[in-house]
Chains A and B, each alone.
Chain A
Amino acid sequence: MRAGSAGEFRRSFGDGLVKYLARRVIRAIFLLIGVSALCFLFTEMAPGSFFDEMRANPQISPETIAGLRAQYGLDQPLAVRYGRWVKSALRADLGYSIAYNTPVAPLLWSRAKNTLLLALTAMILTWIVSVPVGLWAASWRGGWLDRGITVLSSLLIAVPEIVIAIALLASAVRWRLAPVGGMVSTSIESMSEWARLKDLAAHLELPVLILALCESAIIVRHVRASGLEVLNASYVRAARGLGITRVRLLFRHVLPAAANPAISLFGFSLGGLVSGSLLVEVICGWPGLGPLVLDATLSRDLYVVMGGIMFSALFMAGGNLVADILLMLCDPRIRTGGEHAN
């Protein structure tokens, strides 16, 4: 059960690779269609609309609100609105935001860049730390590292992310450890290039830490559990008997075999790059997609929500695709959609 190499992978897959990728692309298209249709439907189900805040204001008349609704096409039936949205989406025009009065796509992209920066940094940190720690804990089972990891990960899983975030922010405020939120200092204009980079890095510290802590807890647990399973296998015991070093054992032999659940999680990590950091972004004031889409969702700014959801759906499909390919790389005998094992 050795990990295969890329060359082997391609050889054994053959032409099937192109067909496989084509199938995944078709699946992604169906996903987008399904998500967009259901999203429109759900929006209709939810009570209220964008101009409700004005409705509660005694100084604005219902006629004005009706006029605004007509202006933005909110009084049209659902099917008509969906049709128009699909037509313009195919032309890469994702509509206008009611709140900002600007086109949706540039609005989303200006924030998505920030989210990707944060999420990628956190993801790299998470995976670089979690996998070795998980494997180490498995190999030192019952030792102080293992116990400590169990307790720490339990703490991080049990306490809701929001409480962890506020606790860390509170410590940052107390001891002036790091900037408390935001992405850049207000005086960014007057800084040199190098100073700007440092400023950005300083602001990244806290949100990355929060994200990394919460996600590592889960990954470490899974890696440790599957690592334990593999460590008990006979060939591993044989290798130990032959005097292999711990590092070599863990990374060359245990990891590929134990990687299965971790790969699925990796796919989720990748797929959740734009959507997973929503809470942290809101709490830390990081100007990413999270606060924008959350605000738009709560205020029913439909096209921003649609755009955001399409974007994260694409990422998710992509992340799962990568995970599936990695699964096949790791265990060459898996051939999803191909021959069965009979």
Chain B
Amino acid sequence: MRISGKLGMGTRLKAAALAASLLVLHLAILCAGFISPYDPAIQNRDFPYAPPTRLHFNDAAGFHLRPFVYAWTPAGESYQEDLAVAYPVRFFVRGDPYSFLGLFETNLHLFGVDDPQKIFVLGTDAFGRDVFSRVLWGGQISVAAGVVATAVTLLVGTLIGVIAGYFGGWADEALMGTSELFLALPWLYFLLGVRAFLPLHVSPARTFLLLTCVIGLISWARPARIVRGVVLSARTRNYVAAARGFGGSHLYILRRHILPEAFGVLLTQAALLIPRSIAAEAALSFFGLGVSEPAPSWGNMLGELRQYSVLISYGWLLAPAAALFVTSVMYSLLADALHSRLESR
């Protein structure tokens, strides 16, 4: 019977590949302005719900190395390719201006087609906005918010869980009681109240802060309980008693013996919370606390999919869900790899 688990050469190669793909993903998102052909807010009102532009390599003249596209023309309820004119895809084109990472302005894009035609790699949404550009730009705020919110959640949750589990007694009762209170409250009303209290227009920076704090603080109860459970078990181990006997301070024991036990669950929770936090932003926009139009985020793009007719007719709008899925898988694999590294130490 084979039960695997040793880290060998093959696994190290896989870990490297994983790290590389994560890097590529994050780089792509950071360079959203460059990689995406258009500004995410630009509406093409003549092309709502246009399917992804098809890339062609062959035409009457034969095979071309440089791909080309045809224009979409409206035909009844959907679109047809207008085979009259072919538009070659050009690279390193000048297009809509954007600010690269907030550092400098430029208008260089990785690829594009000649004006006035457009290339919609992943189709368009209800307003004719390019989904590919929106997914890339949306990733900036979504991944950042997701990671930061998860960090906040886990920080608060671990702190509370550790204190409750390690010290036990009244601290445990009080903190776990608070967590139950937290879970039971009607957050809907609280969020409505928060929204009423804030000024109508919240700047993007404040929105980001608000998002991460709200999502981060609402979800600490679950990780706290799980960590507490693990800590309760860990503190009963013999070596902990021994360490106490040798005069080890609480802090030392926590750092050396208790916390490492919790890493496993923390990593698993992190891998779960990141996509959850990103998707939670979609729920927040119901209250007016999410990323507001026309700025894209995976959360508010997923909001469009809540309509049945849209979901089944325009499959390309699932792109942010696919992006979220890929991100989620990568973070899961990362968590897994980190876990096994910690285990083998």
Q: How many A residues touch B, CB cutoff 8 Å? A: 74
Q: How many B residues touch A, CB cutoff 8 Å? A: 68
- Complex contacts, B264 vs chain A, CB 8 Å: 225-226, 228-229
User: B113 contacts the other chain (Cβ, under 8 Å)?
Assistant: no
| Binding stretch for chain A, among B68-76, B207-215, B332-340 | B332-340
Instruction: Indicate whether A341 sits within 8 Å of B241 (C-beta atoms), given known contacts A158-B324, A163-B321.
Output: yes
Q: Roughly how many angstroms separate A154 CA and B274 CA in the complex, as a whole number?
A: 11
Interface of A is mostly: helix
Contact (Cβ within 8 A) B311 A158: no
| Binding stretch for chain A, among B24-32, B92-100, B230-238 | B230-238
User: A21 contacts the other chain (Cβ, under 8 Å)?
Assistant: no
- Complex contacts, B228 vs chain A, CB 8 Å: 264
**Best-buried of A143, A159, A309 by chain B (most CB within 10 Å):** A159
Q: Roughly how many angstroms separate A39 CA and B180 CA in the complex, as a whole number?
A: 14
Contact (Cβ within 8 A) A141 B173: no
Which single member of B177, B232, B306, B332 contacts A166 (CB below 8 Å)?
Answer: B306
User: A148 contacts the other chain (Cβ, under 8 Å)?
Assistant: no
- Complex contacts, A337 vs chain B, CB 8 Å: 168-170, 172-173
Q: Roughly how many angstroms separate A154 CA and B321 CA in the complex, as a whole number?
A: 11
Instruction: Indicate whether A31 sits within 8 Å of B267 (C-beta atoms), given known contacts A154-B325, A166-B306, A261-B229.
Output: no
Q: Mark B272-298, 1 if CB is under 8 A from A, else 0.
A: 100110010010000000000000000
Interface of B is mostly: helix
Task: Mark out the residues of chain A between 242 and 301 whose CB falls within 8 Å of any chain B CB in the assembled complex.
Answer: 245-246, 260-261, 263-265, 267-268, 271, 297-298
Q: Roughly how many angstroms separate A162 CA and B305 CA in the complex, as a whole number?
A: 9
Which single member of B5, B190, B267, B325 contacts A155 (CB below 8 Å)?
Answer: B325
Residue positions of B touching A, CB distance < 8 A: 1, 3-5, 168-170, 172-173, 176-177, 180-181, 183-186, 188-190, 192-193, 196-197, 222, 225-226, 228-230, 232-233, 235-237, 240-241, 244-245, 264-265, 267-268, 271-272, 275-276, 279, 282, 302, 305-306, 308, 311-312, 321, 324-325, 327-329, 332-333, 336, 339-340, 343-344
Report 24 cross-chain contacts, Cβ distance below 8 Å, ordered by A residue. Answer: A31-B177, A38-B185, A43-B186, A47-B196, A150-B329, A150-B333, A157-B275, A157-B276, A160-B282, A160-B302, A163-B306, A166-B305, A170-B312, A221-B332, A228-B339, A260-B230, A264-B226, A313-B184, A320-B176, A320-B225, A331-B236, A334-B236, A336-B172, A341-B235
